Every structure is written in C-alpha cells, then in structure tokens.
Chain A
Amino acid sequence: MSGRHLLVRAGTTVCALPVAAVRRVLRPLPLHPLPGAGPALRGLAEYAGEPLPVLDLARLLAAPPGGAAPCPVTVVAWAGEGAARELVGLAADAALAVVAELPDGVEPFDLTALAGGRA
C-alpha cells in the first residue's frame, strides 16, 4: 500500500496509519467507560456532537508497554470499508509524524480490518 502514513507509538511499538483514513489527531478525549465492553474498548467519547468509540491501540497491536515519555493522543480515523466505515478513536502514546515512506520495521495498521470499528 502506498501513500502517506501517520506514525503512532503504542508502548514500544510504532505503527503506521494511512493518512487517508485519519481524520484528526487530538489530545485525549474525556471517556465514558461502557459496562461489559471488551478490554480493547476504552469507552465512549464525544467528537463533533457524536459518540465516538475509543480503542486502545496498544491492545490492538498487542504491544509491550514502555518506550519514550508518552504524549498521549487520540487519533480519530475511519474504520471499516465502504458504507460500513465509521469513525473510531485510537488511544496511542504518541503521534510522531506524517511520512511518505515507511521506516524499516514499521508495519502499516489495517484500519479496514476493524469491523464496524468494534473490537
């Protein structure tokens, strides 16, 4: 897959999100935990007057904790494909940069695999 990517870090793992799917990078949003939700779903936030499910990127990547000083962010991106796509929030430890070429060892994160944005 070609195109620009946003590099984000969760724990010690850096992954690349396709810029086309990324809507906005925000400071962490206030969360409302959902009872009975899975461990990857941190809770619901409010974005542009709509509820936004916020997922834990480190959980999704199964990344080990650690790394540099965190500067936590919530990346608002489109998950899924086509008509099923919806906005989700991905809670990461830091948003690093927008790059054209992926650095070695950094894998792109497949946002389309997030079915309906529900983990």
Chain B
Amino acid sequence: MRTARRHLLGWLLLAGLAAAGAALLWAAVGGAGVAAWPAWAFTALAIAVLAAYGVRVDARSRRLAGRLTRGEERLARLQGELAAAFGHLGAGDLLRGGERSARLPEGIAGSFTAAGRALSALAERIQDSSIHVAAAADGVNQVSGELAAGSSQQAASAVEITAALEELAHTAAQIAGNAARQAELAETAQRSGAAGAAAVDGAVGGVEEVQRRIDAVARRADALGSRAKEIYRVLELITEIAQETHLLSLNAAIEAAAAGEEGRRFAVVADEVRRLADRSQESVDSVRAMLDDFAGSIHATIVATEEGGKEAARVLERAREAAAAIGALRGTAGETANAARQISLATQQQTAASDEVVTTLREVTRVVQRMTGGLQELADTAVRLSQLGLSIQLVAQTFHSDSPRSLKHLIEEWSHRLDGAGREEVAARLDALVQGTPFIEMGYLADADGKLVVLCHSKKLMGERRRLSEEGARQVDMKQRPWFRAVARERRTSLTTLYDSLQSGELCFTVATPMNGAGGGFTGVLGMDVNLTSWTQTA
C-alpha cells in the first residue's frame, strides 16, 4: 500500500507540475494564436513525459517494489531461523543450533556450523582441561596434604629431637658437674691416700721396732732359760751331795751305834750332819720349786714373745699390704681424677655442641612450620582450584554437543531410547542404562505432575549405601526439585549446580531432559544423578 501511494503521489506531482507549467505558459502567451506555440509545445512535451514515465519508470518501479517485498519476507524468515539457531546456541544446544542452521543460506549455515563445531570443540577442550585441572589440583592437594602432614610430623619430630637434645644437654651438664665433683673427691681421696700411706709407713716402722724389741726380749728369755738349766744342774749336784751326805750321816750313825758308848758323841755329830743334809735337801727343793716357777715364767715369756713376734709379723705384713693397697688406691684415685676431669671437659664440649644443634633444630623447626603453613595454603589453593575446575566442567557441560562426553547429549539419547515404551519396559531399559554407565548414581523418570514413575540405582556406585528407598523417593514432590522446575520451565535439557547426594552423601549434580509424547507435548522429566568423583575419573 505504501508503495502504491508512493506511485500515485509521483503521478500527481508530475501531473501537477505539468499542469502548473502549462497554465503559467498559457497565461504568459495570452491566448490562442501563433504566439501560443510554446504553450502547446510544453503541453505536448509534458504529456509525452508523463506517458514515458508511465511506461518506463512506474512499471519498473512496481516490479522492483514486488521483488523488494519478497526479499523482505525472505529476510524476515531468515532472521527468524537465525534467531532460533542462535537461541539454541545461546542455550548451549549446539546440536539443535546446527540443525536449525541447516535451513539458512549455505554460506551462513556453513559458517554457523563451523562456529558451532569450533564452540563444541572449545567446550570439549574446556571440559578436558577443567578435568585435568581438577585432577591435577586434587593431586596437588593430596601431595601437599601429605607433604603438610609429613612436614608437620617433621616439625613435631624436630621439636621432640630438640626436647631430647635439651634433655641430653641438661644431662650432660649434670654429668659434667658430677664428673667435676668426682674429680674433686678423687683428689681428696688421693690426698687422704697420701696421708694414709704416711700413717701406714709410720705404723710399719713402729711394728718393726716392736718386732726388734720382741726379738731382744726373746733372746734374753732364751738366755735366762739357759741360765735356769745351769741352775737346775747345780741344784741336782747339790741334791746329789745332800743325799750322799745324808747316806754318809746314816752310815756314820750306824757305825757310832756299833761303837757303843764311845760312838754316842759321834752319833750326835752324825745326826747333826744328817739334819744339815736334810735341810740342804729341803732348801734345794724350795729353790727348785722357785726355779720351776721362774722357768715357767721364762717359758711363758718365750711363748708370749714368739706369739708377739708372729703377731707383729702378721701386723707388719698387713700393714705392708695396706700400704700397697693405699698406693694402688692413690694411683687409681689419680687416674679417676684425670678421667673425671676429661669426662667433665668432654661433656662440657658436648653441652656446647648440643646447644648449637638445638639452636639449629629450632631454626629448622621454624622453617618446617613455615613450610607447613605454605603447604596448607597450597592445599587450600589446590582445593579451590579443583572446585574451580569442576565448576568449569559443569559450565562446559551446559553445551549440548554430539560428543560422547556431553551429558546433555547422553540423556537425550536415553530419552529417545525410552520413547514410546510402557512403564515396565522403561524401567528395564533405564536400569540397563544406569548399570551400564559407571558414573550415574541414579536414573529416574517423573511424570508431568512431578510423581516418580521409575527409579533405578547404580548397584556398583550405591551398593549398600542407599539412604532413600524407592518408596521413600515416591514421597518426595519432584515438582519442587530444581531440575524438574528448570526442565518444566525451559522445556529443554538442563544441569543443576553441585549438591550433596541424598542417596550417597557425595557430591553430585543432576542432568534432566523433558520427555515428549507422540504429539510433542510435555509428558515428564527424565533425570540422572552424576557422581562427581566417578564422572571426573571416567572422563
């Protein structure tokens, strides 16, 4: 319509200009006649121009306008396709974006497909790199944790060694003190030994003097004994003489008796002689008795001097042994004093060395503690790096490509396999898929109202760790779950953020995709819980 109005306006403008020009020209020439030919000529020219415009310009313009309209319509359609393709691209669905780009002109489609492939490759590389980063960060975390633990132990050991060395130094100082005291004691013992040796030497001298005197006494006693024996011999002689005298006096008395009266006076003399002999004998007997006592005393003296000599010899021997022992003791005390002084010196040196080692060990402990702190920071950084890697991985997973690593692609393949099957068949197929995929904890299907239809656990991943029974899971309102809400709202495959699995308690995330019925309507949501650790290891 706008084009038609533009055409009419053109015609009216041209006609108006021609009419105005002719009217002005006719007015200028002032009526008919020969002088009016310019007006005629102008009129004829104007008509001719109008005719030419109608034939040449207006028809072409109309054709152009028609082509323009068709072009605009095609452009709008292409814009729509392009917007849809970019819409898929914006949602990360590279696959559908590529499919939609096929409807675009060949050049654009080619460029779009190339861009999609580049983006897909980029997403895969980001995913791979993020996994490597996360794995490396885990490795760094583990190693730095071990190193931190090791260095903590090292620091603790260094502290223990320091304490032990301090104790050792303390003990060495005590030993040095004890050794010094022992050296003093040994010197004192040495001095006492010298005094003892002098005393023993004096005692030996005294005993030797006693022995000499005892020997002198013994010699004199022997001499006395000899003299006593001589006296015995003299006494025997006197006894013999007295007995002879006694017999002589008896025989004289007998002879006097035989002489009768004449012999009476002689008998008296003989009796006097006999009495004298008897008194001599009695005196000899008493002298003998005294001499016996004297000889007994001399014998006792000799025995006593012999015993005394023997005792003195024993005392002398013991005193000499004591002198030798004291001499040995003095030597030993001297050696002990030297050894104790050396021990004292050595332990003082040891204490100094221990102090140096303790100082060094304290420095080492400080360094190790700083290193432990640094390693802890490194471990924390590695943990953050690992989390960052996993986040990047999840971001990379928002792209839906035909890569086998694309979880969106995987779950949509699952949804295609489950399409059109009955509940039992769906349960069997889903269980087979879950058991065949090592990083899936659970696969489940909820209907459009959020009620659980099928729930399959991974036997390998869950085993005995199942926290939630299927019956319990049925009580959960799936409509309130983030994955269900996202899919129901967007009607396209989506990923959740990381969360702790209700079943295993480990980190996981959910990938969910809408299920469409035969008519293309929304019939439910298929979801799978991806165990992060297993996924990282598998990827």
Residues of A that sit less than 8 Å from B by CB: 3-4, 6, 19-20, 22-27, 71, 73, 95, 97-98
Contacts and interface: CB of A to CB of B under 8 A. Distances in A.
26 contacts: A3-B257, A6-B250, A6-B254, A19-B253, A19-B254, A19-B258, A20-B258, A22-B254, A23-B254, A25-B247, A25-B251, A25-B254, A71-B246, A95-B246, A95-B247, A97-B250, A97-B271, A97-B274, A98-B250, A98-B253, A98-B254, A98-B257, A98-B267, A98-B270, A98-B271, A98-B274
Contacts of B267: 4, 98
B253 A24 contact: no
B243 A24 contact: no
Q: Is the interface of A mostly helix, strand, loop or mixed?
A: strand
B254 A27 contact: no
Interface residues of B, number: 13
A24 B257 contact: no
Among B243, B253, B274, the most chain A Cβ lie within 10 Å of the Cβ of B253
Given A6-B253, A95-B247, A98-B270, 11 more contacts: A3-B257, A4-B267, A19-B254, A20-B257, A20-B258, A25-B250, A27-B243, A71-B243, A97-B271, A98-B253, A98-B254
Nearest to B243: A71
A108 B250 CA distance: 17
Contacts of B257: 3-4, 19-20, 98
Contacts of A27: 243, 247
Contacts of B247: 25-27, 73, 95
B254 A24 contact: yes
A66 B186 CA distance: 78
Nearest to A23: B254
B375 to A, nearest CB: 125
Contacts of A73: 247
Contacts of B258: 19-20
A11 to B, nearest CB: 19
A22 B254 CA distance: 7
Contacts of B246: 71, 95
Interface string B270-293: 110010000000000000000000
Contacts of B250: 6, 25, 95, 97-98
A106 B271 CA distance: 20
A6 B26 CA distance: 252
Contact of B251 (A3, A4, A20, A24): A24
Interface string B247-261: 100110110011000
A51 B201 CA distance: 80
A118 B181 CA distance: 107
A97 B247 CA distance: 9
Interface string B227-266: 0000000000000000100110011011001100000000
Interface in B348-383: none
A98 to B, nearest CB: 4
A85 to B, nearest CB: 15
A22 B274 CA distance: 17
Interface in B402-428: none
A84 B373 CA distance: 158
A24 B251 CA distance: 6
A95 B274 CA distance: 11
A4 B419 CA distance: 188
**Can you list the 4 inter-chain pairs with the closest CB atoms, starting with the nearest?**
A98-B253, A19-B257, A25-B250, A4-B257
A51 to B, nearest CB: 21
A20 B251 CA distance: 12
B262 to A, nearest CB: 15
Contacts of B254: 6, 19, 22-25, 98
In this complex, which of B243, B251, B258 has the most chain A Cβ atoms within 10 angstroms of its Cβ? B251
A71 B246 CA distance: 11
A8 B243 CA distance: 14
A4 B250 CA distance: 12
Contacts of B271: 97-98
Contacts of B251: 24-25
B427 to A, nearest CB: 151
A8 to B, nearest CB: 10
